[in-house]
Amino acid sequence: MEPITLTTRRLLLRSFTPEDAEAVYQACQDPDIQRWTTVPSPYTRRHAEEFTGQMVPDGWQTGTMCTFAMLPREGGTLMGSIGVTLRTLSGTWEVGFWTAKEHRGRGMTAEALGAVAHWTFTRLKATRLEWRAEVGNAGSRAVAERAGFSHEGTLRAALMNKDTLRDAWIGALLPSDLGLPTPCPYLPAPRG
């Protein structure tokens, strides 16, 4: 799959390039990004170079991991990263994101998440988009909920981070949550 570019009212979402390595390196020095995401810690320039020069292009090429750099639409510095990874052949994808410290709290990541979710359902024909975060990552949960994800519960020992299994919150978004058709019928469980 060829990388694509998405735009929102305020954002430009494009594939990372090797020229982004320094900006990724600087953003990932933030202790919160190292604490709450699965980026290596300590985070070195080599990690940023491998991410921008190998991991991101390989994911697009195989069509199993599509990662976007989040930038201001009118130009400016890197604001964050958002990507989707194929989890099941039945169409479940998982979203992951981080936001540079100076760009948090303005709804930018939720805006990016909305655009990436819509693209995942329409272009990748996802049946379900999952969000997972370590229990306690309130910022990530707020972004997911703002973008329409339904919190579905807590999974014990479901997230490997820094060689330690951790409990994870899980939420999901379905095409119908965005008013989009589903690629196959869905029969929800009866409520009661």
Strand ordering across the sheet containing 150-161: 6-7, 11-14, 65-72, 80-86, 92-99, 128-134, 164-173, 150-161
Q: Rounded to whole angstroms, how far apart are CA atoms 40 and 18?
A: 18
> Average pLDDT of each block of 10 consecutive residues along the chain (192 residues)?
97 98 98 96 98 98 98 97 94 97 96 98 97 98 98 97 96 97 89 81
Taking CA atoms, 93 is separated from 25, 53, 96, in Å, by: 26, 23, 10
- pTM confidence score: 0.95
What is the per-residue pLDDT for 192? 77
Find the largest Cα–Cα distance for the chain. Answer: 54
What is the per-residue pLDDT for 184? 87
CA quadruple 171, 140, 97, 108: dihedral sign: positive
Query: What tokens were used for 116?
Result: 């990436």
What is the per-residue pLDDT for 183? 85
